[in-house]
Amino acid sequence: MGLQIGSLLLPSRIVQSPLAACSDLPFRLVARERGLGFCFLEMVSAQSLTRENAKTRRMLATLPEDRPLGAQLIGCDPGMMAEAAAILDELGFDLIDMNLGCPVKKVVSNGEGSALLKNPALAEKVFRAVRGAVKNKPVTVKMRKGFNDPSGDEAAEMARRAEAAGLDAVTVHGRTQAQQYAGHADWEAIGKVKRAVKIPVLGNGDVLTAQDARQLIETSGCDGVMIGRGGLGNPWIYRNLEEGLSGARTAPYIPSVAERKATLLQHLALQRRYLGDRQAALNMRRITVWYTQGLPYNKAMRVAVCSTMDCEEIARVVAEFFDNLPADAPPPTVPLLLTE
Ligand SMILES: Cc1cc2nc3c(=O)[nH]c(=O)nc-3n(C[C@H](O)[C@H](O)[C@H](O)COP(=O)(O)O)c2cc1C
- The pLDDT tens digits of the residues spanning 172-210 come to 999 999 999 999 999 999 999 999 999 999 999 999 999
Same domain membership, residue 52 and residue 16: yes
Q: Is residue 336 part of a domain?
A: no
Same domain membership, residue 283 and residue 178: no
- The pLDDT tens digits of the residues spanning 211-264 come to 999 999 999 999 999 999 999 999 999 999 999 999 999 999 989 899 999 999
Q: Is residue 319 part of a domain?
A: yes
Q: Compute the distance from residue 228 Cα to the ligand 1 centre, in Å.
A: 5
The CATH number of whichever domain residue 289 belongs to comes to 1.10.1200
Domain-ending residue, one of 246, 267, 286: 246
- Split into its structural domains, the chain has a count of 2
As for ligand 1, residues whose beta carbon falls within 6 Å of it are: 17-20, 22, 42-43, 72, 99, 101, 142, 173, 185, 204-207, 227-230, 338-340
Query: Cα separation of 149 and 337, whole Å?
Result: 23
> Which residue puts its alpha carbon closest to atom 1 of ligand 1?
340
Task: Determine the longest span between alpha carbons in the chain, in angstroms.
Answer: 58
Same domain membership, residue 311 and residue 224: no
* Long-range contacts of residues 299-305, Cβ cutoff 8 Å, at least 24 apart: none
What's the DSSP call for residue 290? H
Q: Is residue 16 part of a domain?
A: yes
Same domain membership, residue 318 and residue 210: no
CA distances (Å), origin 80, targets 45, 58, 127, 304, 328:
10, 20, 12, 44, 53
Q: Which structural domain range is residue 300 located in?
A: 257-323
Q: Is residue 337 part of a domain?
A: no
Same domain membership, residue 84 and residue 230: yes
Q: Is residue 149 part of a domain?
A: yes
Specify the pTM: 0.96
Same domain membership, residue 209 and residue 293: no
Closest CA to 123 of 81, 92, 70, 91: 81
Same domain membership, residue 223 and residue 264: no
Q: Compute the distance from residue 303 Cα to the ligand 1 centre, in Å.
A: 26
Average pLDDT over all residues of the chain? 95
Same domain membership, residue 269 and residue 241: no
